[in-house]
Amino acid sequence: MNGVRLQSVDKYFGVVQVIDGVSMEVPQGEFAVFVGPSGCGKSTLLRMIAGLEDTSGGTIEIEGRDVTATEPAKRGVAMVFQSYALYPHLSVFENMAFSLRLARAPKASVIEQVNEAARILKLEEHLDKKPSQLSGGQRQRVAIGRAIVRQPKVFLFDEPLSNLDAELRVQMRLELTRLHRQIGATMIYVTHDQVEAMTLADKIFVLRDGVVQQAGAPLELYDDPVNQFVAGFIGSPAMNFLDATIARRTEGGIVATITGTEGQTLEVRVDGRDPVEGQAVSLGIRPEHLKIGEGGISVTVEMTENLGGVAYLHTRLPDGREVVVERRGERESRTRETISVTANPEDVLVFSNEGQRIR
């Protein structure tokens, strides 16, 4: 069954269109992540699902019910805000009990439900405190607790971890994953951080300028991006893009001359008829797919980032464009060395000048 289903949803602010015909399905119980650069419309889309923004066109369904015109409280959704949005004048207990009190739930069940949420989130000892007495991570948990207490069909998270420090973010990521497994409700999570997207999601929706670029499982997006934008956005450090011209077609592929080098070439596997000889393309290669070996492209190492288990060589082509090479288990610095790098033909992705993938 569908948890959330959007059909050709549009959103205009005045004459500016921020969401352009978005259709998507999030199956019940899945953890979906909307990811994209700031201003891509991901938060607006989430707020439209919550009912905090009205919809200019299209329909939104939650568990089979059309909620496009339903007010927020009756959609069966709960939202966790980036700023937590805790009521500063109420205790942790009252913050979590707020919706139950509004619904005039019996006292005993209020206490029971809040205590249950507090137990799941390990907040029992903080129930009498005010939000201002809590740390950032605890506040975030209270905000999540407030959502849990409502027992929603869909949890919506709007960049919930961006106000936390790096260590806490990793910890909260694990807690969210555990929580999702424990509760089993549909969750939609908005972030600009692709690491969060990769680690949390069952399914990622990459947005840009109000359009879904690609939807799929994290590794699907990583291995098989449909365009240059998705390829560049998913993965850290980002994919290398090399401008190239097709020198000739071969059996099952092409040979491309890399722009900015002295005619050095790479062999690439391509199944279709495109690209044709002489066409200008962009080649995408992930840092971990670049190997040091003879007969490749000459690059000069400018800086080595050694993280212990893995090292990143920041290198430059003769014309100055950057290429990042990942090395595992390499300790000595290669700074200022000129090296030759190459890649397996099947690890190189080809993009047209318009940024579309050519397979």
Question: Among 29, 56, 57, 85, which residue interacts with another protein (rule: CB under 8 A)?
Answer: 85
Closest to another protein by CB, 67 vs 234, is 67
| C-alpha–C-alpha distance, residues 154 and 77, integer Å | 5
**In sequence order, what are the residues at sequence separation of 6 or more whose Cβ sits closer than 8 angstroms to the Cβ of residue 51?**
67, 70, 71, 72, 75, 77
Helix (H, G, I), strand (E, B) or coil at 224: coil
Question: Among 1, 15, 102, 276, which residue interacts with another protein (rule: CB under 8 A)?
Answer: 102
Closest to another protein by CB, 45 vs 281, is 45
Whether a cis peptide bond, with omega within 30° of 0, leads into 237 is yes
Closest to another protein by CB, 149 vs 206, is 149
Burial of 13 (0-12, 13-18, 19+ CB in 10 A): exposed
Tokens 């997207």 -> residue: 197
Asked whether position 262 contacts another protein by CB under 8 A, the answer is no
Asked whether position 78 contacts another protein by CB under 8 A, the answer is yes
Asked whether position 98 contacts another protein by CB under 8 A, the answer is yes
| C-alpha–C-alpha distance, residues 44 and 13, integer Å | 10
- Sites for another protein among residues 58-77 (CB under 8 A): 71-73, 77
CB of 218 to another protein, least distance (A): 29
Which of 233, 240, 234, 228 minimizes the C-alpha distance to 325? Answer: 240
Closest to another protein by CB, 47 vs 327, is 47
Question: Among 65, 89, 119, 248, which residue interacts with another protein (rule: CB under 8 A)?
Answer: 89
Amino acid at position 172, single letter: M
Site string for another protein, 25-54 (x = CB under 8 A): -------------------------xxx--
| C-alpha–C-alpha distance, residues 237 and 289, integer Å | 12
- Sites for another protein among residues 148-187 (CB under 8 A): 150
Q: Which stretch binds another protein (CB under 8 A): 96-104, 182-190, 269-277, 342-350?
A: 96-104
| C-alpha–C-alpha distance, residues 16 and 18, integer Å | 6
Asked whether position 92 contacts another protein by CB under 8 A, the answer is no
Residues that bind another protein (CB under 8 A): 50-52, 71-73, 77-79, 81, 83, 85, 87-89, 98-99, 102-103, 146, 150
